[in-house]
């Protein structure tokens, strides 16, 4: 009986997440949906000079397999979207600063379904 109780307790603890992990994932989701104001700094580590700064409602794309960082930003005013590419080298690094605080849940994981991404838009020529 004790073994069954211990196994149930261990399995119960495995399913529990820390509040910080849930909040971190929710902030990442908000950022991917252009809801978080960010400042992205690119720095030459050899000269300690800032090469470029991108500020706005931006999301970082992790899909690139080479040393290219892709930043996609949305202009809240007119809804336009811009994509920025930065090639990283041994002398170039970056950091992303979240400018404002985000109101996200620390208890519930945020899941967003976007039906417009599931149904492709067809263009007839």
Q: What is the pLDDT of residues 80-106, one digit of tens each?
A: 999 999 888 899 989 999 887 777 666
pTM of the model: 0.67
Tell me: the pLDDT tens digits for 31-47?
888 888 999 999 999 99
Q: Where are the beta strands (DSSP E) in the chain?
A: 37-44, 49-61, 68-74, 81-87, 92-98
Q: How confident is the prediction for the chain on average, in pLDDT?
A: 79
Residue of 4, 79, 88 whose CA lies nearest to 43: 88
Give the residues across from 101 on adjacent strands.
none
Domains in the chain: boundaries: 16-100
- Answer yes or no: are the C-beta atoms of 99 and 39 closer than 8 Å: yes
Question: 117 pLDDT band (50/70/90 cuts)?
Answer: low
Question: 11 pLDDT band (50/70/90 cuts)?
Answer: very low
Question: What per-residue confidence (pLDDT) applies to 57?
Answer: 92
């Amino acid at each position: 009986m004790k073994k069954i109780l211990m196994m149930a307790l261990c399995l119960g603890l495995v399913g529990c997440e820390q509040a910080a992990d849930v909040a971190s994932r929710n902030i990442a989701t908000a950022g991917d949906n252009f809801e978080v104001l960010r400042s992205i700094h690119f720095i030459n580590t050899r000269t300690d000079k800032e090469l470029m700064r991108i500020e706005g409602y931006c999301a970082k794309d992790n899909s690139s397999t080479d040393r290219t960082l892709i930043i996609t930003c949305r202009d809240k005013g007119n809804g336009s979207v811009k994509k920025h590419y930065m090639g990283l080298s041994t002398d170039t690094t970056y950091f992303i600063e979240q400018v404002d605080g985000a109101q996200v849940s620390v208890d519930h994981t945020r899941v967003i379904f976007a039906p417009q991404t599931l149904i492709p838009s067809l263009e007839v020529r």
